[in-house]
Chains A and B, each alone.
Chain A
């Protein structure tokens, strides 16, 4: 049996304070993939934001060297209208990243509200919301997005709405299951006993404690949303034909595939590098927050 420590000596048991690297940084420095992913993502975001300054040419200005192969002057070559492909790919990052982030944020907001309401109140509200979510759950997100575009019609804003709604079920399910576990915890019970309102309980106690899995899910979803946007653009259901997006450039590339391989390669590499970086970083977040793999939906 250990001897009881006098109260005055308790401070000796405390871990001595040292200037320690925070856990997130330590993990990041060890996880080489995550580090690379993060660096690439930062470059991509900065590149997209500063597109007018970093791209070598105006993405819409046509020159007379049509379909010219990659060269010093045009590192990615030019397209059928003599536009610089590298510039178009850089501008394409704007649409992809914007759509990826905006759709997932709206999807998360809406999904979490639905999931929290369903989980917190239960009863008929839960039944109605979850019946719909289960219906959507039976289909891959991309198919839901295609269905919704079929209903709304093509176009960038419709694609954003469609993708946001298509990813809703992942967040709603996750939020609901988090609420169901957290609702029963003692501190929520205590807050309730102190007279906290439902809204306060949901916003101050339940939501902050379910944030970690939601952030991991959101990261995974951004990569799937980027893939979904590229797919929809590729099918001609996305943005107007003049806007440079990765999916659309690939779609146009099909006509010149036998003469200009670069049109079919570089935009796809851009998509792959972006998605890969997000996936690497997402894996790191999963480790950081210690979120079990099964908690986060693995379907896309």
Chain B
């Protein structure tokens, strides 16, 4: 187990390094010198030269790469080229809790929809309810999440005036303000995810329900609820965990867009604003952190496997 974990962590670090390196060199390979773009708002050529020298931008690319890597390894992502040159680390430290809050709440909402829907669909296979859920899942997968966000704003913020349309309140302001700001964007992101999850739980449950041990549980005289929840659902959960990992990645991807609908200054908004402003240090930093979240999620899912199903022995 320890060797396996160690291997996986090393592999994760290699992936991160590869992403960082690819992004670094691709940004520099594309026409439109990013170094120029970084300094375009400082008119005086001599000042540009001084700054170029100060930030090591007059050195060969591979030296810059080495320096940048060195700095990143020490937690220094550089500074935004806009405004008062806020360090990228500070921007990300502010944005990260927002994106994580959003993704977590979206996850909870998706589970709250998907688990009952999936179980009911499986237990009452081919009933009207099952067909209804199937169609709803198709709809959920076909709706762009950002559009669902707009629809939710129109309904709950503009017409009903129940919830705020945009913005964010940290959890330290209390649960209710935090929840009030996040429930709409989290629902927008979680819907597509819940559709995938519900389908997955349904097919996994159907497979398990046909197995011998379910017949045994029933013939022992267990009540049906207990058979479904304790025996079937637990075993049906195993394949669901894999798809949960993929889907959590989709949640993060959803957050990137939906944060921009609800004007939440999370990682996604930071990344997109950085791209639109051609603010390279911010873009690089945001990409690195977003990538780290994906890689970490994959790792956690693989490890979770062993806990849910002790039969899986990892090398």
A and B associate: yes
Q: Which of B253-286 contact A (CB under 8 A)?
A: 253, 256-257, 260-261, 271-272, 274-276, 278, 283
Q: Is B18 within 8 A of A272, CB to CB?
A: no
Q: Is B260 within 8 A of A235, CB to CB?
A: yes
Partner of A280, one of B18, B138, B165: B138
Q: Is B151 within 8 A of A235, CB to CB?
A: no
Q: SS class of chain A's interface: helix, strand, loop or mixed?
A: helix
Residues of A within 8 A of B294 (CB): 138-140, 143
CA–CA, A230 and B253, complex, Å: 14
Q: Is B154 within 8 A of A265, CB to CB?
A: yes
Q: How far is the CB of A146 from chain B (nearest CB, A)?
A: 6
Partner of A257, one of B146, B158, B283, B295: B158
Q: Is A257 within 8 A of B144, CB to CB?
A: no
Q: How far is the CB of B262 from chain A (nearest CB, A)?
A: 10
Partner of A143, one of B26, B144, B246, B290: B290
Residues of A within 8 A of B249 (CB): 139-140, 143, 299
CA–CA, A250 and B246, complex, Å: 28
Residues of A within 8 A of B250 (CB): 140, 299-300
A147, A149, A267, A272 interface centre (most CB from chain B within 10 Å)? A147
Residues of B within 8 A of A76 (CB): none
Count of interface residues, chain A, beta-carbon cutoff 8 Å: 42
CA–CA, A230 and B275, complex, Å: 17
Indicate whether A258 sits within 8 Å of B158 (C-beta atoms), given known contacts A235-B260, A298-B243.
yes
B174 interface residue per 8 A CB criterion: no
B19 interface residue per 8 A CB criterion: yes
Partner of B150, one of A223, A227, A250: A250
Partner of A147, one of B150, B287, B295: B287
Residues of A within 8 A of B287 (CB): 147, 150
Q: How far is the CB of A138 from chain B (nearest CB, A)?
A: 6
Q: Is A237 within 8 A of B272, CB to CB?
A: yes
Residues of A within 8 A of B276 (CB): 154, 236-237
A98 interface residue per 8 A CB criterion: no
Q: Is A154 within 8 A of B275, CB to CB?
A: yes
CA–CA, A236 and B154, complex, Å: 21
Residues of B within 8 A of A271 (CB): 143-144, 147
Q: How far is the CB of B290 from chain A (nearest CB, A)?
A: 7
A153 interface residue per 8 A CB criterion: yes
Residues of B within 8 A of A153 (CB): 30, 32, 278
Residues of B within 8 A of A139 (CB): 249, 291, 294
CA–CA, A265 and B153, complex, Å: 11
Q: Is B147 within 8 A of A250, CB to CB?
A: yes
Q: Is A151 within 8 A of B146, CB to CB?
A: no
What are 13 A-B pairs at a CB distance below 8 A?
A142-B253, A142-B256, A150-B27, A150-B275, A153-B278, A231-B144, A234-B257, A257-B150, A264-B147, A272-B142, A272-B143, A275-B141, A279-B138
Q: Which 5 pairs, one residue from A and one from B, show the smallest C-beta to C-beta distance?
A: A268-B147, A276-B142, A275-B142, A140-B253, A264-B150
Taking A138-B15, A150-B275, A272-B143 as given, write out 18 further A-B residue pairs in contact, using a Cβ cutoff of 8 Å, ordered by the A residue number: A140-B249, A140-B250, A143-B252, A143-B256, A150-B271, A151-B30, A153-B30, A227-B144, A231-B257, A234-B260, A250-B147, A265-B151, A272-B142, A275-B142, A279-B142, A280-B138, A299-B246, A299-B250
Interface residues of A, Cβ cutoff 8 Å to B: 135, 138-140, 142-143, 146-147, 149-154, 223, 227, 230-231, 234-237, 247, 250, 253-254, 257-258, 261, 264-265, 267-268, 271-272, 275-276, 279-280, 298-300
Interface residues of B, Cβ cutoff 8 Å to A: 15, 18-19, 22-23, 26-27, 30, 32, 138-139, 141-144, 146-148, 150-151, 153-154, 158, 165, 196, 243, 246, 249-250, 252-253, 256-257, 260-261, 271-272, 274-276, 278, 283, 287, 290-291, 294-295, 298
